[in-house]
Amino acid sequence: MFEAAVRDGVLRLRRPETRWLSTGWNGGRLRADAAYNVSVPEGFDRTDLGAYRDERLARAGFKSEEDPPTLFTGVSMVHAYGARLGSVVAYATVGLSNPAMLPMDPTGVTGATDDAGDSEPGAAASTGEPPRRPGTVNLVVGTTRRLADGAAANLVAVAAEAKAATLLATAGVPGTTSDAVVVGDDPTGEPAAFSGSATPVGAAARVCVRDAVRASLRSRYPDGDLPGPAADAEHGVVADERAEVFEL
């Protein structure tokens, strides 16, 4: 299985010659011995993320000659939790200071039959790109199965769905403005052509993500004082416009 270690604010999930698929900074498909989740300080404003990553890995004593998948978060790694089931392991860090809400009864109106000038744009539309805030839900998921390319991409979706379902049930938000997922698989493992929720890999990933997210959430907010909608989180965004809907 994958070997996890935390040093100096850096989580490393390691397994030699792993294939990774990342939605984070400098993401995509690549092969590396490890993936990383790096905690950044408050007020972090570095833009040279590659150099910063290398500095942090060196400081933590994690040597890498590759360009490994790396996620960044303002959440301390003391709140990193993992869960394992079958061939899957998942690690999560959860911070919710910038929730991204998607109401089912939005207040804004747009579309062919509406006057867009009368709409009240949501926070995301009115402010442009959301500011970088420490609230991030990062997931690093690994499986010892060999995933087909489509199965690897789908496992990202499965993990994100499990994250959203868990957060909606526990915190009333589906995620934040800066969530990211990294999925890793073993190129020498038993092949898995699919990773949907009914497959062994997908089912295990859903359970692992749920339990890791809940554990990190409890650690980060031990008193249950969540900065979600009930607390009127200051840095969140709300997609409260309406799209034009039409029949094909």
Torsion sign (Cα): 103, 107, 113, 114 = negative
pLDDT of residue 1: 84
CA 131 to chain centre: 17
pLDDT of residue 232: 57
CA 151 to chain centre: 18
pLDDT of residue 14: 97
| pLDDT tens for each residue of 104-117 | 988 765 543 333 33
Nearest of 155, 219, 189 to residue 2 by alpha carbon: 189
- Is-contact 151 194, C-beta < 8 A? yes
Q: Which residues contact 14 (CB under 8 A, 6 or more apart)?
A: 2, 3, 4, 5, 33, 34
- Is-contact 106 240, C-beta < 8 A? yes
Ranges of each domain in the chain: 3-238
Helices (H), ranges, the chain:
49-60, 123-127, 149-171, 200-220
Point out the residues of the chain with pLDDT beneath 70. 108-134, 228-234
pLDDT of residue 229: 65
| pLDDT tens for each residue of 36-61 | 999 999 889 999 999 999 999 999 99
pLDDT of residue 135: 74
Please determine, looking at this structure, whether the domain spanning 3-238 carries the CATH number 3.60.70: yes
- Looking at every residue in the chain, the average pLDDT score rounds to 88
pLDDT of residue 136: 92
